[in-house]
Structures are given as structure tokens and as C-alpha cells.
């Protein structure tokens, strides 16, 4: 077997090196193990420590952003009634999925990258791989559902309340949360995802957790997790863009037509006034038709902003997950295509970064979310700053005491002046 042959060769090579080192030390000859070699090793150790610190900082930053950013989304929607609409229920569920990606996928991956080995045993390796595939697929399917929801809201706005009912919302969320188990827990725990050689290797070396998949599983899982949802999202957004552009052209034409009609009626009204004046019983000319209602225009602007936000989320999603799934499929289908550890870590963490990026997109491009985030953060800051509240309370008490003392001083002065006047009057 390939894994065992490689391991035997490495053990023989290490034993030869160890015997060489012992022989040179007993003979009193330092050989290649001189001061320059020690300096080189010290430099390599320093570089390794610095690299580990950089990796730990980047991974910790992504994990914390994913946790607190998505928690802020959930708390903001719960606290502000204005955000409790159908689309934002998908957003809250997406935020929960991204938080679980940070907890159950990113943390285990970070431990492997920093320690260089799997620390949790054979069974937990399957658990981690299953949770990683499961929650990542759930997150991607949520973005697909949001694109479908926005499509019906913009393309069929009159039928939207009939299409997106609470029952349909619950059904879509149930499918999104349950269906990824078909490509995660079931094939991984059944051993269908990989080759027999890799299963034998894992049983011999439980401290190694490598997600080595066969070709069939790579095609099926990548299609369910990325390619099919990605195609649906691109198609939905393209139709949304077409509909938004069509509505904008229609609104512009209606405004132009209304302005021309209004001008025409004004001209006719002026000419009629010159020829004959309306009598007392005669009704005045009918008012000119007004422009399209402001409510519909503002609603369409909100829908366009929502579509733009969706487009930005989709672009971020493709930029983050496309490199990973390309690498995933290519390495599974091509037996001779290999990649280094740095490339593997990079494609994994760029994909994970999408879970931390979605809250930032909502905060920056959505005004309602931005206002809700600001209010939530202000309330959290006021709740976690008791020293400032005590200082404000003490200042208020000092101000009350100072006002009371000043009023008492003024009253004493008035009483003294009154007594003085009474005494003067008595003397007179």
C-alpha cells in the first residue's frame, strides 16, 4: 500500500540519520552540526513561530468576525420590529448557519493548521468533516433561497404575499436545514465518500484527519453544495436585474407622459380662461393628474437596493467559494494533480471568510440594518459601561445638591434682607 511504503521509507531514513548523528558525536566530530547549522535552525524556528502567529491571528480574526457579526444580525432583527419581514427570516437563519460554521468547522480546522495534527480521534474526524460539509452547504442554500425570495418580491410583487406564506417559508427553511445531511452525515459515516485505501490508512493513523474523497462523491457533493445553487442564484439575479431595469424605464416613461399631459392641460386651461370665465354654478376644470404615487416609487427604490445587496452578496459568495470548489473537483478527478498545504489552507479559509463577510455587507449596503446595528451596539455599550453610568449618576446628584444649596443660600439671603427691612421700619 502506498501509505505504508512511504512510512517505512521515512522510518528507515530517520533511523539512519539518528545513527549518523550518534557516530559523529562519539567520534568527537561535529560534522555538519556546527555553529552555522545551529544558527540556521534557530532562524527557521523563528520563522516558524512568526508564521504560526500570523496564521493564528488571521484565523482568530475570521472566527471572531463570523461569530459576533452574525450574532449582531440575529439580535438586531429580534430587537427591531421593522426588520421582521419574510426575507430577513432567511437572513437570520443564514446568520445562525454561519455562526455554526465558525464554531464547528473553523475551530477544528484552526487546531489542525496550528498543531499540525488531528487531536480528537477517529470518530471526531468524521464528525468534523460531516459538520463542515453540512453547515457550509446550509449557508450556501440559504443564499439561494434569499435570491428566490427577492425574485418573487420584485418580479411578481402583487402575488408575493400569496407565494411567500408562513407555511412556504417554514417548508423552505426545513428543506435547507435537512437536505444537506444527504451529502454530509450519511455518506461520511457510511464510508461512501472515500476509497478503501484511505479508510485503511485512517484506521492505522487516527491522528491524521484528511478529507480524501472519491470522484463520484466529489461531483455529487459539489453539485448539491455549490454548482446547482450557484446557477440558480445567477439566473435569479439576472431576472431580477432585467425586471428592475424594465420597471425603472416604465417609471421614467410614465413620469414623462404625466408631465406632458399636465403641461397640455395647463395650456388648455389658460386659453379657456382667456375666452370665457367660469360662472358661479360652473364647476372648475378638473385638476391635472398627478405623478405616480411616491409610495410606489420609494418601494421600487427599496427593492432595487435589496437587489443590489443581493448582487453584492452573490459576488462575495462566488469569490469566496469558487476557488475551493474548483480545487475540490480538480484534485478529485485528476489523480496526478497535487497541491501544497498552503494552497489547501488558503482555499478553505477563503471559503470560510464568506461566513464573516455577509454581516459586513448587510451593515454597509442596507440602511435599515445599518441603523439597527448602530442602535444595538449603542444599547450594548450602555449596558456594559456601569462606571460611566455611576459617574453620570454622581454628577446628577452633585448638580441636584448644588442647586438645592444655592436655593437655600438665596432663601437665607432673602429672609435676612426681610428681617433687616422690618427692623429698619420698626426703628423709623
CATH classification at residue 265:
1.20.1070.10
pLDDT score at 48: 82
DSSP string, 40-51: HHHHHHHHHHHH
34 Ramachandran zone, left/alpha/beta (phi>0; psi -120 to 50): beta
pLDDT score at 394: 53
Residue corresponding to grid cell 446557477 = 231
Burial 396-406 (b: 16+ CB within 10 A, else e): eeeeeeeeeee
Can you give the C-alpha Rg of the chain in angstroms?
36
**Cell numbers of 40, please?**
540556521
CA distance 406 to 202: 83
CA distance 385 to 3: 58
CA distance 348 to 328: 10
pLDDT score at 56: 93
The CA-atom distances, in angstroms, between 16 and each of 13, 22, 37, 253 are 5, 10, 19, 85
- Where helices occur in 80-195 by DSSP H, the ranges are 86-101, 107-115, 121-155, 160-163, 166-178, 185-190
CA distance 263 to 428: 89
Q: What is the dihedral of CA 284, 288, 294, 295, to 10 degrees?
A: 70
Residue corresponding to grid cell 469558487 = 322
Q: With 0-12 CB in 10 A as exposed, 13-18 as middle and 19+ as buried, what is 267?
A: exposed
pLDDT per residue of the chain (428 residues) written in tens, 0 to 9: 444 444 443 444 444 444 444 444 444 444 444 556 767 777 778 888 898 899 999 999 999 999 999 999 999 999 888 888 888 899 999 999 999 999 999 999 999 989 888 989 889 999 999 999 999 999 999 989 988 998 898 888 889 999 999 999 999 999 999 999 999 999 999 999 999 999 999 888 888 888 889 999 999 999 999 999 999 999 998 888 888 778 777 877 777 777 777 766 677 665 444 444 444 444 444 444 444 455 556 666 666 666 676 678 778 888 999 999 999 999 989 878 878 888 888 999 999 999 999 888 877 777 888 888 888 888 888 776 654 454 555 555 555 455 545 554 545 555 555 544 444 344 44
Domain count for the chain: 1
- Check if the beta carbon of residue 161 is closer than 8 Å to that of residue 207: no
- Does residue 404 lie within any of the structural domains? no
Q: How many residues does the chain have?
A: 428
- Does residue 322 lie within any of the structural domains? yes
CA distance 176 to 418: 85
CA distance 239 to 155: 8
Residue corresponding to grid cell 549518523 = 20
- Does residue 234 lie within any of the structural domains? yes
Q: What is the dihedral of CA 183, 185, 187, 188, to 10 degrees?
A: 120
List the domain range (segments joined by +) for residue 227.
42-272+291-384
- Does residue 391 lie within any of the structural domains? no
- Does residue 69 lie within any of the structural domains? yes
Q: 170 phi and psi, to 5 degrees?
A: -65, -35
**Cell numbers of 208, please?**
491524521
- Does residue 237 lie within any of the structural domains? yes
- Does residue 397 lie within any of the structural domains? no
pLDDT digits (tens, 9 = 90+) for 323-355: 999 999 999 898 788 788 888 889 999 999 999
- Does residue 364 lie within any of the structural domains? yes
Amino acid at each position: 500500500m502506498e501509505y505504508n511504503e512511504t512510512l517505512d521509507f521515512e522510518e528507515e531514513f530517520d533511523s539512519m540519520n539518528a545513527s549518523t548523528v550518534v557516530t559523529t558525536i562519539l567520534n568527537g566530530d561535529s560534522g555538519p552540526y556546527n555553529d552555522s547549522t545551529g544558527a540556521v535552525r534557530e532562524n527557521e524556528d523563528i520563522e516558524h513561530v512568526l508564521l504560526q502567529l500570523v496564521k493564528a491571528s488571521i484565523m482568530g480574526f475570521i472566527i471572531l468576525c463570523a461569530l459576533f457579526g452574525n450574532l449582531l444580525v440575529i439580535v438586531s432583527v429580534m430587537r427591531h420590529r421593522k426588520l421582521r419581514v419574510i426575507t430577513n427570516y432567511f437572513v437570520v437563519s443564514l446568520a445562525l448557519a454561519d455562526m455554526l460554521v465558525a464554531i464547528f468547522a473553523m475551530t477544528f480546522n484552526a487546531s489542525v493548521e496550528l498543531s499540525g495534527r488531528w487531536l480528537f480521534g477517529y470518530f471526531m474526524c468524521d464528525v468534523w468533516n460531516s459538520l463542515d460539509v453540512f453547515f457550509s452547504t446550509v449557508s450556501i442554500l440559504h443564499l439561494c433561497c434569499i435570491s428566490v425570495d427577492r425574485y418573487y418580491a420584485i418580479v411578481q410583487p402583487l402575488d408575493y404575499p400569496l407565494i411567500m406564506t408562513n407555511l412556504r417559508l417554514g417548508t423552505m427553511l426545513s428543506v435547507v436545514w435537512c437536505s444537506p445531511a444527504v451529502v454530509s452525515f450519511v455518506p461520511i459515516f457510511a464510508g461512501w465518500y472515500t476509497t478503501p485505501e484511505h479508510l485503511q490508512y485512517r484506521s492505522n493513523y487516527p491522528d491524521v484527519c484528511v478529507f480524501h474523497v472519491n470522484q463520484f462523491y466529489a461531483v455529487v457533493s459539489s453539485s448539491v453544495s455549490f454548482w446547482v445553487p450557484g446557477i440558480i442564484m445567477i439566473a435569479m439575479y439576472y431576472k431580477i436585474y432585467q425586471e428592475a431595469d424594465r420597471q425603472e424605464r416604465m417609471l421614467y416613461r410614465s413620469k414623462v407622459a404625466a408631465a406632458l399631459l399636465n403641461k397640455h392641460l395647463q395650456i388648455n386651461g389658460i386659453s379657456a380662461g382667456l375666452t370665457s370665465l367660469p360662472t358661479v354654478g360652473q364647476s372648475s376644470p378638473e385638476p391635472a393628474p398627478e405623478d405616480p404615487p411616491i409610495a410606489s416609487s420609494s418601494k421600487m427604490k427599496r427593492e432595487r437596493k435589496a437587489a443590489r445587496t443581493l448582487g453584492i452578496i452573490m459576488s462575495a459568495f462566488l469569490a469566496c467559494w469558487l476557488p475551493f470548489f474548483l480545487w475540490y473537483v480538480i484534485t478529485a478527478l485528476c489523480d496526478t494533480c497535487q497541491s501544497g498545504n498552503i494552497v489547501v489552507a488558503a482555499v478553505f479559509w477563503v471559503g470560510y471568510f464568506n461566513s464573516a463577510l455577509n454581516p459586513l455587507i448587510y451593515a454597509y449596503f442596507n440602511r435599515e440594518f445599518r441603523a439597527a446595528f448602530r442602535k444595538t451596539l449603542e444599547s450594548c455599550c450602555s449596558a456594559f459601561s456601569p462606571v460611566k453610568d455611576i459617574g453620570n449618576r454622581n454628577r446628577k446628584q452633585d448638580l441636584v445638591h448644588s442647586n438645592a444649596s444655592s436655593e437655600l443660600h438665596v432663601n437665607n439671603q432673602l429672609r435676612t434682607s426681610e428681617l433687616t427691612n422690618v427692623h429698619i421700619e420698626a426703628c423709623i
